[in-house]
Amino acid sequence: MTTSRPRRLVAAALLGAAAAQAQAQAQAQSIVALDAGHIRGVDGAQVDRFLGIPYAQAPVGALRWRDPLPVPKWDGVRDAARPGAACYQAQPASFGPYTGEFVDVPAISEDCLYLNVWRPRGAPGKLPVYVYIHGGAFNSGAGNVPVYDGAALAARGMVVVTINYRLGVFGFLAHPDLTHESAAAGARRSSGNYGLLDQVAALRWVRANIAAFGGDPDGVVIGGQSAGAVSVNHLLMTPLARGLFRAAVAESGAGIGIEALPLAAAERLGQDIGRQGGAASLAQLRAMPAAALAKAAARAPPRPASRFAIVELPLSPNVDGAVLPADASDPTQPVASPVPLLTGFNSDEYGLFGAPSNRAEFIKLVNERYGDFAAQFLALYPHATDAEARASTALIGRDRSLASLVLWAERRTESSGQEVFTYLFDHPYPTTPDGKTHGAFHTAEVPYVMGVLDAPGRSFDARDHAVSEAMQAHWTAFIRTGNPAIASQAWAPAGDQPVVMGLGDTLGPRAAVSTPQRMAAFRAFAAKGGKLSLF
């Protein structure tokens, strides 16, 4: 009996030492050494997160509308427990299907070039890396919007990175004086592609630092949705990003139909913004308060010139011949990085700009959009009643976006040899808190891919979680191998047949367009110079 107490004390001491050692190891794991200094993140049971990491200097003052510069080194350990500010934009607000999980951002500032990293707990190293670029029409959004949380994907055995990049007038103002300044500095003769240069800078940061989080610098895959997908397509084109990634994902998507302005047109817009703001010189433009500059640059929301025309986003990347040598909407243009591409659309994206409500409007819009081919399309899509016209509006919109996708993929593969894997996602997102349904709307697939099914006011059921599991399985396979096939479903790249992979509720290979005759009509329309797009 006299020896039991000392033994218990020794055992307790050993257990205490082991716990202290485990705690010390856990704390040590959350500190990462970067090329600019040390950061401390937040430990999780499965995933560690590191938020608000600067990847470039704050683009403020004299650095407004300049190429991003490396972050100066810092002493000590920088806290990485909270997100950095979102890039300057209008204050976000919910609208339509876009409740808080799709639009909420942290504080807004011009000092915004931050990124976020999620890694699996105890990451062994050489893990694949997924760098995600947010959407928002190049005018809104951030890497910290709730649906972009990377924890669930990281838990599947990868390192996930989300980024901010300059938006609107701060990221995409072109101006003759800025172009001259760029040429005089010996960099390049360009202006207006600062947000795209931010994305390249973030990828270079990833290349230099991701091994510290257990990621493989040679295993980087880029992805994005909407404007993020357009960004991905631009990054495929720019020689500045060559070698920084080995595959790409563009959700809504390749063939979206957003055309980049030529530099000269973007410069004219910049001059108009300067006049609107009363700035007679570049120095005065740089000195303008952010709110005043944003007000001077405000334009109407992006809408087609006619309701079925190609959309232009005035403050977005431009074709300057240097940063962006060619427009990514043209699949025949040279590609700097012809890596495997996963891309597609959702089944209910057609209503992004509204839809006709009756037969007369449907006929009018088909005539506006399809011109000499209008009679052929009207014969293929029933519209004898208002109800038929509304149903055909949805169907022709879906068919148009998928025809655009398929034709874009065919031409890109023919011109560059790039493998393109195409899909159609058709699972409806749960109803909004007021009970309205919007189907598989623009952006609806993002929470399923990221595994973020916890939005307040939405009711996710077992089917939602099964869809998310399948989507994550395909994305994980693609991020690891460059092919989205999984054991239960082969997936071939686009070829001669107009077929896409069905994801969501209709699974497996399916015809892209609802009938062969309709696909033939879209193909003939495009062959005669007709423009196809999501819109």
- Between CA 103 and CA 94 the distance in angstroms is 7
> Which run of H or of E encompasses 500?
strand 499-503
Confidence class for position 185, pLDDT limits 50, 70, 90: confident
List the single range of 307-311, 365-369, 501-505 with lowest mean pLDDT. 307-311
Q: Residue 241's domain spans which residues?
A: 30-71+87-353+423-489
31: left (phi over 0), alpha (psi -120 to 50) or beta: beta
257 assigned to some structural domain: yes
Q: Which amino acid is at 255?
A: G
393 assigned to some structural domain: no
List pLDDT tens digits, range 202-255.
999 999 999 999 999 999 999 999 999 999 999 999 999 999 999 999 999 899
Percent of the chain with pLDDT over 90: 84
172 assigned to some structural domain: yes
453 assigned to some structural domain: yes
- Between CA 119 and CA 151 the distance in angstroms is 8
List pLDDT tens digits, range 345-395.
999 997 766 677 899 999 999 999 999 999 999 999 999 999 999 999 999
List the single range of 5-14, 183-192, 434-443 with lowest mean pLDDT. 5-14
418 assigned to some structural domain: no
- Between CA 71 and CA 3 the distance in angstroms is 61
Q: What is the residue-averaged pLDDT of the chain?
A: 91
Q: How far is CA 216 from CA 33, 131, 151, 162, in A?
A: 16, 12, 18, 16
Q: What local confidence, expressed as pLDDT, does residue 305 receive?
A: 40
Q: What is the CA radius of gyration of the chain?
A: 25
Q: What local confidence, expressed as pLDDT, does residue 383 receive?
A: 97
- Between CA 409 and CA 347 the distance in angstroms is 18
Structural domain total, the chain? 1
User: In the numeric block, which tokens belong to residue 274?
Assistant: 């300067």
Q: What is the pTM of this model?
A: 0.92
82 assigned to some structural domain: no
List pLDDT tens digits, range 23-72.
444 444 589 999 999 999 999 999 999 999 999 999 999 999 999 999 99
Average pLDDT over residues 447-454: 97
Q: What local confidence, expressed as pLDDT, does residue 11 receive?
A: 44
Supply the residues annotated as catalytic.
Answer: 226, 349, 442
List the single range of 80-94, 348-362, 454-468, 488-502 with lowest mean pLDDT. 348-362
Q: Answer yes or no: is pLDDT of 125 > 60.
A: yes
CATH no. for residue 232? 3.40.50.1820
Q: Answer yes or no: is pLDDT of 480 > 60.
A: yes
Q: What local confidence, expressed as pLDDT, does residue 475 receive?
A: 98
Residue of 347, 348, 331, 344 whose CA lies nearest to 500? 344
191 assigned to some structural domain: yes
400 assigned to some structural domain: no
Q: How far is CA 504 from CA 297, 449, 465, in A?
A: 40, 11, 11
Q: What local confidence, expressed as pLDDT, does residue 535 receive?
A: 82
- Between CA 227 and CA 337 the distance in angstroms is 19
Average pLDDT over residues 514-524: 98
Q: What local confidence, expressed as pLDDT, does residue 299 receive?
A: 75
**Alpha carbon 192 to chain centroid, angstroms:** 19
The label of the residue with tokens 């025809």 reads: 403
> Which run of H or of E encompasses 176?
helix 176-184
